[in-house]
Every structure is written in C-alpha cells, then in structure tokens.
C-alpha cells in the first residue's frame, strides 16, 4: 500500500484555522498533529497514547512518518514488538488526503478542535493516561466542557421503560438544577431523557458520540443533538467521517466515565453497554451510582447485576445519594427508631382509654416497679403519658 502524508505548512495552517480560530501558527501545527493521531488510530490505542505522552503529538507524528525501525521508538512502557505491531496497524491509514477531507468536513460544520493542553480540556480525561483521547472534535460551546467535580454522567438502556425514563428525567433535572453538567451518550432511551430533562431545566449537557460529529447519530436524535449543541456541546474523539462502530461505542463509554465525577446507571439490560461504562468508571476509581428497579423488569437486570458484582457500584435512590458519592454533604437524615426498650415495654403495658397502676404496669411489662416509675417520669416529660388520680394513661395524639 502506498501512503502519502502531506506536511506542507501552508496547507496545514489553512486547514486548521477554522478549527483553532484563536490559535497562532504554532498552535495550529500542534493541533494538527493531535488531530492526525485521532485520525490514524482507534480510540484507546495504548501505544499511540504512550508515544504521544512521551514525545508530544507533533514529534511523535514526525517520528512515525520517518518509517523508523520499531526498536528506535520502543520505550520503558512499550516493547519493540508492540511498537512494530502498532506501526503495522497505523500504516493502512497513513493517507493525508483522507485526513484533510476530515478537517474540511469539520470546518464545514463549524466544529472546534480541543486538545489536551487547552484550558477547557476536561480534567477527568487526564486520568485515562495512555488511553486518553488525542483531541475532542466539538460542536456547540467548548465552554460547556465540564470539570470532573461538576459533571455527572447519566446513562442507561436504549430500551428503557416508563419507570427508567421517569427516573432519568428526575435525576438529570436534580443534577442540573444544582449546577452540575449532565454527560451522556445521546442515545435513545435513558440517554435521551437525561439530555432532554437537562435542557428543559436550562442546564448544561454534553453528548459524547461514538462516531464523527458530522453524523448526528442516531438519526432520530438529530433534532435533540442540535438542541444540545445550542445549549451545550456534542463531541467525539473520532474524526469527522468516522463511523460509530461497536468498538468505538465501547471506547466512547470510557470518555463518559472519565469526564464525570460519578456515573449514574438508571436502567440497563443484562448485557447493556452501560455496564461497560460502569467498568470504565471502576477502572478509573470513579464511583458508580446504580438505580435499582423491579426484579421483574429486564431493563433493570443489568443494574442489579452491577450492584451484585461491581465493587464500585452503590445503590442510590435519590439525587442527594448520588451526589454524596461526589463528596457532597447530604442533608441530615434521621436514624433508625432508637426508642428506649424499657419505654417501648411501658407504653405497650399502658392503655389510652383507661388508667393503670404502677404495679399493674410492672406486671404487664415485665419490668420492676422502680423502673416503671422512672420510665413513666421520662415519658410524661415527653408528653407520651399522663398521670391522673386513677393511675397512668397513654397519650396517642401522635
């Protein structure tokens, strides 16, 4: 296969200007290299990630374009044989004409290219280390890219039920009304409901796509995704033109998990992709909040499976419980009823309709008369019992 890679400086600058309007020529050259990596390799390619982290995107790109021996690129983290394999799998895509077409497509849809050194780069993605994305192709407001501490992922089954949709809306509305950005995958079902509820609350939402952002997928959500662009951002690490393959869906899930401080799984079938998002979250030491449902509902089977098998998964029933996992202090809640056992027994032995003597109460409750007297005194202070001439009576007013 013949591969061509055009590194003409003027051409690069021309192609990159619309995607990095605020950058200078150096910035555009760097961003071009990062974008090229996103074009050349599949999401999550560890060898590419390690090479770029070590050398920077531009140097790393130049290095592989020089057709080096694999051994010269091998490092402590990457063996020569791994590098040789990687060079072989990148080779088929070394076609700069195709890459320039992707850049032109991005420009034509007013996309922005965000790279790791940008201030708006979501800090959570850094935790992906060698598996981090090289760029984010963004449509909408790049200012909507969230910091992990203020982002919650709400994900779940495409084949959702009314119950799950209700919960997704409720949770998304709760998060966004408290100022959290809601991250999801733009899919039918739970994802769509989470985005919609956030938009309805005037909140910020981020849709992470598995394919290029030039294709608003799924097509039934084109209108929704355009609304997300208007109020937030639609993004992908895959360059324009890239198809939403199954592999990219699985890898897309790692971005959702990494971007958010907590991932909430609302409904998930037994083999749902949301379980994969949860696995990514666990690998990143991020908490996973899981909403249970009826055991008779297949749409909750994956949630229950997560709760049974994933140590990072915590059952949640409210927005506050999910945010607790982010470290937010929850509202104080009452504990289990901790009534004094003797008090329970004395109250049992009393009647509200007739009075009883201490001796009678002692016999009925199986407590000593002295204990009964002491307990009655305390209960009287609480307004739970009253003393009359005939003896003691229970007050049931509350």
Residues that bind a second copy (CB under 8 A): 1, 40-42, 45, 85, 88-93, 163, 166-167, 243, 245-248, 250, 271, 275, 279, 291-296, 300-301, 304, 307-308, 314-315, 317-318, 321, 336-337, 341, 344-345, 347-349, 359, 362-363, 365-371
The dihedrals phi and psi of 94, each to the nearest 5 degrees, come to: -75, 75
Q: Using the minimum distance from each CB to a second copy, give the nearer residue, 20 or 305.
A: 305
Tokens of 169: 């809306």
d(Cα 2, Cα 97) in Å, to the nearest integer? 12
Which helix (H) or strand (E) covers residue 373, if one does?
helix 369-381
Q: Using the minimum distance from each CB to a second copy, give the nearer residue, 247 or 352.
A: 247
Q: CB 24 → a second copy: shortest distance, Å?
A: 31
Q: CB 243 → a second copy: shortest distance, Å?
A: 8
d(Cα 194, Cα 197) in Å, to the nearest integer? 5
Q: Using the minimum distance from each CB to a second copy, give the nearer residue, 333 or 389.
A: 333
Q: CB 93 → a second copy: shortest distance, Å?
A: 6
3-class state of residue 235 by DSSP = strand
Beta strand 288-290 with 313-315 is: parallel
Tokens of 383: 């307004």
Q: Whats the size of the chain, residue-wise?
A: 398
Q: CB 345 → a second copy: shortest distance, Å?
A: 5
Q: Using the minimum distance from each CB to a second copy, give the nearer residue, 39 or 121.
A: 39
Q: CB 45 → a second copy: shortest distance, Å?
A: 7
Q: Using the minimum distance from each CB to a second copy, give the nearer residue, 139 or 304.
A: 304
Q: CB 83 → a second copy: shortest distance, Å?
A: 12
d(Cα 207, Cα 211) in Å, to the nearest integer? 12
Q: Using the minimum distance from each CB to a second copy, give the nearer residue, 260 or 362.
A: 362
């Amino acid at each position: 296969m013949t591969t061509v890679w055009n590194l003409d400086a003027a051409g690069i600058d021309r192609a990159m200007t619309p995607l990095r309007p605020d950058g200078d020529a150096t910035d555009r050259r760097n961003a071009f290299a990062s974008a090229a990596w996103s074009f050349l390799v599949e999401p999550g390619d560890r060898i590419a990630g390690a090479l770029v982290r070590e050398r920077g995107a531009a140097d790393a790109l130049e290095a592989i374009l020089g057709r080096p021996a694999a051994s010269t690129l091998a490092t402590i983290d990457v063996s020569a044989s791994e590098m040789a394999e990687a060079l072989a799998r990148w080779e088929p895509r070394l076609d700069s004409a195709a890459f320039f077409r992707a850049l032109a497509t991005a420009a034509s849809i007013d996309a922005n290219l965000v790279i790791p050194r940008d201030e708006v780069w979501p800090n959570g993605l850094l935790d992906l280390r060698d598996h981090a994305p090289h760029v984010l192709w963004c449509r909408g407001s790049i200012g909507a890219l969230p910091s992990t501490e203020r982002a919650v992922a709400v994900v779940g089954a495409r084949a959702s039920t009314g119950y799950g949709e209700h919960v997704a809306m409720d949770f998304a509305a709760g998060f966004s009304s408290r100022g959290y950005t809601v991250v999801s995958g733009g899919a039918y079902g739970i994802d769509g409901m989470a985005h919609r509820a956030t938009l309805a609350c005037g909140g910020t939402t981020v849709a992470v796509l598995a394919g290029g952002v030039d294709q608003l997928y799924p097509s039934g959500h084109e209108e929704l995704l355009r609304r997300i662009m208007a109020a937030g951002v639609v993004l992908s690490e895959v360059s324009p033109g890239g198809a939403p393959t199954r592999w990219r869906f699985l890898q897309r899930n790692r971005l959702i998990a990494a971007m958010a401080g907590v991932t909430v799984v609302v409904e998930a079938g037994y083999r749902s992709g949301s379980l994969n998002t949860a696995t990514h979250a666990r690998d990143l030491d991020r908490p996973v909040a899981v909403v249970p449902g009826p055991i008779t509902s297949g749409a909750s089977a994956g949630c229950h499976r997560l709760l049974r098998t994933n140590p990072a998964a915590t059952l949640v029933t409210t927005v506050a419980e999910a945010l607790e996992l982010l470290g937010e202090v929850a509202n104080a809640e009452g504990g289990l009823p901790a009534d004094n056992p003797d008090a329970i027994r004395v109250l049992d032995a009393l009647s509200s309709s007739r009075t009883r003597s201490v001796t009678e109460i002692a016999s009925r409750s199986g407590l000593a008369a002295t204990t009964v007297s002491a307990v009655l005194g305390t209960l009287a202070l609480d307004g739970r019992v009253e003393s009359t001439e005939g003896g003691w009576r229970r007050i049931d007013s509350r």
